[in-house]
Amino acid sequence: MTGNDMTDKVGIAVGETPRVEDASGMSSSYWYRRPYSTGLPPLPAGYDNTKELTDKLCKQTLAVKRKPNKRLPSSYLCHLCFIKGHFIQDCSLAIPKGHGLTPYQGKKRCFGAYKCPKCKRKWMSASSWANSAQYCIKCYIMVYPHKQRPLDTPDGLDVSDQRKVHPQHLCEKCKSLGFYCRKTT
């Protein structure tokens, strides 16, 4: 079979853009030849320079992201480095958002709220850790906490009930340590 025979059967030549008619009667090759191939609309009238437009957009987004400066309480202690003088989000040890599996990224045990995505069961645990899951008692799937907060009250007392039994067989931290995770506080 020669190249011409192939062209006759397929209907296009090698290197040619295929033309497919859609419901509107326009061929799809029209979209390949558009002057704005990036999919972005042309610059508004009066903007000859893209740098000028970029600078203007950057200034607008920076203005939205700025928050009014909050005053730091005198008793505030950063839960990442345990040093006074800065908020936790301004800590040098802070990991950028999205880098951890849990909201809290500190080293201490904390209070966590869990919700199983499969059976919708909710539970709270005072043995919640950064990047550690607990197994749902019904489904037996790993669930990471969606909310976490420190156990310490402003008085320095632990608000968790130490008499309540922590199910070690459902705790990822207990399994990885090989012993009861509350002993590592």
- Domain assignment present for residue 12? The answer is no
Q: How far apart are CA 87 and CA 71, in angstroms?
A: 10
- Domain assignment present for residue 83? The answer is no
- Domain assignment present for residue 176? The answer is yes
**How crowded is residue 96: how many other Cβ atoms within 10 Å of its Cβ?**
7
Give, in order, the Cα–Cα distances in Å from 184 to each of 8, 107, 109, 127, 140. 77, 10, 9, 11, 25
Task: Report the domain count for the chain.
Answer: 1
Q: What pLDDT score was predicted for residue 114?
A: 92
Q: How far apart are CA 17 and CA 31, in angstroms?
A: 11
Q: What is the pTM of this model?
A: 0.45
Mean pLDDT within 102-122 = 88
- Domain assignment present for residue 146? The answer is yes
- Domain assignment present for residue 71? The answer is no
- Domain assignment present for residue 109? The answer is yes
- Domain assignment present for residue 160? The answer is yes
* Of the ranges 6-20, 69-83, 126-140, the best mean pLDDT one: 126-140
Q: How far apart are CA 170 and CA 90, in angstroms?
A: 34
- Domain assignment present for residue 121? The answer is yes
Q: What pLDDT score was predicted for residue 59?
A: 67
Q: How far apart are CA 180 and CA 175, in angstroms?
A: 8
Q: Which domain holds residue 160?
A: 102-184
